[in-house]
Structure formats: structure tokens, C-alpha cells
């Protein structure tokens, strides 16, 4: 009985203490929630002071920069040194007569990338409460805003060297014989005798440079000899001749020799492809804009604007006006906002690259500058 009398009061005491503890914790939680300071932030343009801020974060608005790459090809026609003798020695009439070049545009591409707009730097000032930095990081990840220290690295291709291809690709192999030849000429030497004058023939050797006609004749003879040797090799007229891969290599070499010597008469056609790039920063606002990339001529390639040659290479941007915001804050300076962020809504634009009346490239893409700057609530 004494055990029961002791046990009952202790059980009641423990239950009462547990209830008191639970009530105390609940009161503390309610009190903590009631005393939590609500978050208050203020966004100001960079450079405008905010003395009451407890902390701050720097961010900027993004802008699009367009990299335009234009690939063009130069085709140069080089007359051969023996072109005027092609019909005489080979019966060929369709040869290159004069040195000339033609140019053509082969490809256009436009690639947008993001950069910081230097006109729109902002500081987020925390006035009261606790600010979660992940809120900004999620917006940076989606390119809604940009970190104020973001770096840009884009490669720009220039117009290339202006040196002509003829200086790199001369006609070097003009024949297999020497450039000089020896000939014998007869001269007469007059001898005086007692009764008369006697002319005595005297021979002498003269070394002189070969004429272009003579060198062209020798080159044509060698070319015909190469063709003969190849024909004999293909028809099996040799007692011993290469087989398998050696045969293929020999035929390829003979083909190369024929092409090299034939170009001495017909000339060469050489092509070179180059790319030129521009960085274009679209203007603000919904109005259409045009940018002149350069003047391009089919005879001279890219030329200075004052040369009055060719047609302009143009980039045209036509916003669709699909973004409609309550406030379009393109003006500066911008006002201070409470509990909200400034950010940009891009607009879809029609982009076109044309050369004169010819359309070379067309695309639809989003550009921040053609949209609107609005506010985004960040705290209650």
C-alpha cells in the first residue's frame, strides 16, 4: 500500500511537468514568430546612397550583343606563262588570258550573347530583415539579371590579309630543260693576200637565253610525253611495270605532272575562303533599326564606302512588339523602388541580313533592348 501511495503522486507530477514544458515551448514559438522582423529591401541605381542599409548586393541588367559572321570566297584566275602558245602547240583555245578575281558571299550567321548593360547597374539594399541571396542567384541563372562582375570573351575575326594569292602561288616549274641553249653560228673573217681579199668562214658557239616560244614548245613536248608514258603503263606495253598500290601511286604522280604542265598553258583557278565578323549592339526601344556592315563588290570584295563600288551589306532588326508592360522605363535616371527588383523583358525581333536587294539571312530571336524594363516583387 505504501508503494502505491508513493507511485501515484509521482506519476501525476511527471504528467503535469510535461504539459507545462509543451505549453512553454509553444508560447516561445508564437512569441518568436510574432517578433520576427519582416524583410524590407530598397533598390537604387548604382551611386545613389542608402545610409540605412544593413547590407547590399550589386547586380546589372543584361543586354544582347549580336556577333555577325560573313564568309566570302575569292576566286582568282591566273594566266599561264605559255598561254599564248596553247593553241599552237596543244590546240587548246579555252585558256585564261588575263589576271582577274571574282568575289562572292557564301554564308552568313548571327549569334547573340549577353553582356552587362553599363547604363543599368543597381544596388539591392537590405533595410530590415534577413535577405536570402539564393533569390538573386536563381534570377542570375535564368539571365533575368546579371552579376555585376560577369566577364565576356568573344572572338572577332578581321578582314584578313590583303596580299594577293598570286604571290603565294607562282608558276615555278616551267620545264625540265635548262633556261639557256647553245647554238653555233658562222662568221666570215677577211684575210688580205698580196693580190686579193679572201673571206674565211669561222664558227663560234653562242649561249643565249631561250625564247618563250622555245620554252613553251619544250613544255608541250614533255606534257605529251607524260601522256604517252601513262597510256603505255595503263595498256601494259612495258615488260615490267608497277602493280597494286605502286601502280596507283605512279598514275597519280603522272596525273599531277600533267596538271602542272597543262596549267602553264591554260592557267590556274585558285579559291580562298575568309570570314569577317562584326559586333552589333541593338538600340533600345521597339523601333526598327538598320546597320551597315560594309560595302561588298563582286569584283573587289569588301571596299571602302567612299569607293562607290558594289552594294551595302545591311543588318535589319524589326521588333514584333509582343512585349507589353505596364511601365517601360527606358529613361534615365531610374527611381528608387521598394521591395522590388528592376529586370528586363526581352522582345522577339525579326532579323535580316541583305546585300543590296538580295536577302542572305533571316532569323527570329529575343533581344533584351527591344523589350521593356519592369519591376519584380521580391518581398512582402
**Helices and strands, counts by H and E, the chain:** 5, 13
Lowest mean pLDDT among 235-239, 306-310, 319-323, 356-360: 235-239
Which H/E stretch holds residue 68?
A: strand 55-78
| Cβ burial, residue 215 (10 Å; 0-12/13-18/19+) | buried
Rounded to an integer, what distance in angstroms lies between the CA atom of residue 115 and that of residue 36?
A: 39
- The residues spanned by each domain of the chain are 44-159+271-377
DSSP one-letter string for 129-162? S---THHHHHHHHTTSSEETT-------------
Report residue 19 CA to chain centroid gap. 75
Over residues 148-171, mean pLDDT: 62
What spatial distance separates the first Cα and last Cα of the chain, rounded to whole Å? Answer: 64
Q: Across all residues in the chain, what is the average pLDDT?
A: 80
Q: Are 362 and 352 in contact (CB under 8 A)?
A: yes
For residue 223, is the peptide bond before it cis, meaning its omega torsion is within 30 degrees of 0?
no
Which residue, 230, 271, 228, is CA-closest to 251? 230
pLDDT band at 262 (very low <50, low <70, confident <90, very high): very high
Lowest mean pLDDT among 79-93, 138-152, 161-175, 317-331: 161-175
Alpha carbon of 172 to those of 168, 179, 208, 218, 366: distances in Å?
11, 13, 21, 15, 55
Contacts of 325 (CB under 8 A, 6+ apart): 345, 371, 372, 373, 374
More confident residue, 158 or 108: 108
Q: Are 265 and 95 in contact (CB under 8 A)?
A: yes
Alpha carbon of 264 to those of 78, 90, 193, 326: distances in Å?
10, 12, 57, 73
Over residues 301-316, mean pLDDT: 91
Over residues 372-379, mean pLDDT: 79
Which residue, 249, 229, 245, is CA-closest to 237? 229
Q: Are 265 and 222 in contact (CB under 8 A)?
A: no
> With 90 as the cut, is the pLDDT of residue 176 above it?
no
Among the residues of the chain, which ranges form H helices?
A: 2-35, 86-90, 134-141, 212-234, 245-266
CA dihedral over 233, 235, 241, 245, signed as positive or negative? positive
Task: Write out pLDDT tens, residues 134-144.
Answer: 878 888 888 88
The pLDDT score that the predictor gives to residue 375 is 83
The pLDDT score that the predictor gives to residue 380 is 54
| Cβ burial, residue 300 (10 Å; 0-12/13-18/19+) | middle
More confident residue, 277 or 336: 277
Report the length, in residues, of the chain. Answer: 380
Over residues 353-362, mean pLDDT: 95
Task: Write out pLDDT tens, residues 190-229.
Answer: 777 777 777 777 777 777 888 889 899 999 999 999 999 8
The pLDDT score that the predictor gives to residue 172 is 76
Task: Write out pLDDT tens, residues 266-296.
Answer: 999 989 999 999 999 999 888 899 999 999 9
Over residues 171-183, mean pLDDT: 77
Lowest mean pLDDT among 56-60, 254-258, 313-317: 56-60
Which residue, 158, 109, 105, is CA-closest to 276? 158
Rounded to an integer, what distance in angstroms lies between the CA atom of residue 271 and that of residue 166?
A: 11
The pLDDT score that the predictor gives to residue 55 is 81
More confident residue, 156 or 67: 67
Amino acid at each position: 500500500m505504501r508503494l502505491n501511495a508513493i507511485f501515484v503522486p509521482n506519476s501525476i507530477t511527471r504528467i503535469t511537468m510535461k504539459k507545462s514544458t509543451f505549453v512553454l515551448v509553444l508560447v516561445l514559438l508564437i512569441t518568436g514568430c510574432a517578433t520576427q522582423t519582416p524583410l524590407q529591401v530598397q533598390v537604387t541605381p548604382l551611386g545613389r546612397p542608402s545610409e540605412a542599409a544593413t547590407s547590399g548586393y550589386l547586380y546589372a541588367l543584361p543586354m544582347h550583343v549580336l556577333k555577325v559572321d560573313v564568309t566570302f570566297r575569292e576566286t582568282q584566275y591566273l594566266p599561264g606563262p605559255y598561254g599564248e602558245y596553247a593553241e599552237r602547240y596543244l590546240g587548246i583555245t579555252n585558256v585564261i588570258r588575263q589576271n582577274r578575281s571574282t568575289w562572292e558571299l557564301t554564308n552568313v550567321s548571327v549569334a547573340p550573347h549577353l553582356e552587362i548593360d553599363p547604363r543599368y547597374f543597381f544596388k539591392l539594399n537590405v533595410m530590415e530583415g534577413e535577405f536570402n541571396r539564393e533569390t538573386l542567384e536563381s534570377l542570375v541563372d535564368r539571365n533575368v539579371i546579371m552579376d555585376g562582375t560577369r566577364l565576356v570573351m568573344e572572338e572577332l575575326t578581321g578582314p584578313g590579309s590583303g596580299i594577293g594569292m598570286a604571290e603565294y602561288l607562282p608558276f615555278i616549274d616551267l620545264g625540265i630543260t635548262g633556261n639557256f641553249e647553245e647554238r653555233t653560228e658562222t662568221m666570215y673573217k677577211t684575210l688580205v693576200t698580196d693580190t686579193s681579199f679572201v673571206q674565211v668562214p669561222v664558227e663560234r658557239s653562242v649561249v643565249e637565253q631561250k625564247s618563250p616560244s622555245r620554252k613553251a614548245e619544250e613544255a608541250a613536248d614533255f606534257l605529251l610525253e607524260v601522256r604517252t608514258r601513262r597510256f603505255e603503263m595503263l595498256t601494259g606495253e612495258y615488260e615490267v611495270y608497277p602493280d597494286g598500290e605502286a601502280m596507283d601511286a605512279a598514275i597519280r604522280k603522272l596525273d599531277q605532272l600533267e596538271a602542272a604542265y597543262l596549267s602553264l598553258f591554260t592557267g590556274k583557278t585558285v579559291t580562298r575562303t575568309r570570314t569577317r565578323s562584326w559586333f552589333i549592339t541593338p538600340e533600345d526601344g521597339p523601333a526598327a533599326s538598320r546597320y551597315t556592315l560594309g560595302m561588298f563588290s563582286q569584283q573587289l570584295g569588301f571596299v571602302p564606302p567612299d569607293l562607290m563600288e558594289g552594294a551595302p551589306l545591311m543588318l535589319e532588326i524589326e521588333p514584333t512588339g509582343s512585349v507589353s508592360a505596364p511601365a517601360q522605363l527606358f529613361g534615365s535616371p531610374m527611381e528608387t523602388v521598394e521591395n522590388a527588383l528592376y529586370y528586363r523583358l526581352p522582345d522577339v525581333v525579326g532579323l535580316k541580313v541583305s546585300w543590296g536587294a538580295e536577302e542572305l539571312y533571316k532569323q527570329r530571336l529575343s533581344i533584351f533592348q527591344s523589350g521593356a524594363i519592369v519591376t519584380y516583387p521580391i518581398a512582402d
